Amino acid sequence: MQNITSITELKNAIQSLEVEQADKGNLLKDQFHTAVESFKPANLIANTLNNIENSPFLIENILGAAVGLVTGFYSNKLIFNPRGNKLKKFLGVVLQFGVTNLVARNQGTIRSIGQVIFKHLARKKRMNSIKP
């Protein structure tokens, strides 16, 4: 900014700064109202659902984690008796945690292996049905 030497320049500078302040104040008010609207529960839920709907990786990760949890839970129940001693319970929890992480981290590989096995079984079944 340049040096002000007269009263009229001072008044003009003050007026210019007041206009700038009013513009920035209006912009700040608009941003505040936008933020308040975005934090309303209905808008939070709608935005979250839109993000989930538009993010296929998130859905795959949630499904992978769910499959991992279910697999870990059932592996624990099948291998270790839940009414056993504390060591068996601890080993069951460790096994459940390990299987859950393994399945959740390698869901693509497990899916590929499952598809190969399914195709192999389907081809065998077709071959058996064709032979007399």
In a structure prediction context, what are the per-residue pLDDT tens digits for the chain, which is 132 residues long? 578 889 999 999 999 999 999 999 999 999 999 999 888 888 888 888 887 777 777 667 777 777 777 877 777 777 766 666 777 778 777 887 888 788 777 877 877 887 888 788 777 777 777 765
Q: At what angle do helices 41-53 and 56-79 cross, to 10 degrees?
A: 80
CA distance 95 to 73: 9
What is the crossing angle of helices 56-79 and 107-130, to 10°? 80
Angle between helices 86-105 and 107-130 (to 10 degrees): 80
pLDDT attached to residue 132 = 58
In contact, 92 and 79? CB cutoff 8 Å: yes
First and final C-alpha spacing in the chain? 97
Rounded Cα gap, residues 57 and 63, in angstroms:
10
CB under 8 Å to 22, separation ≥6 — which residues? none
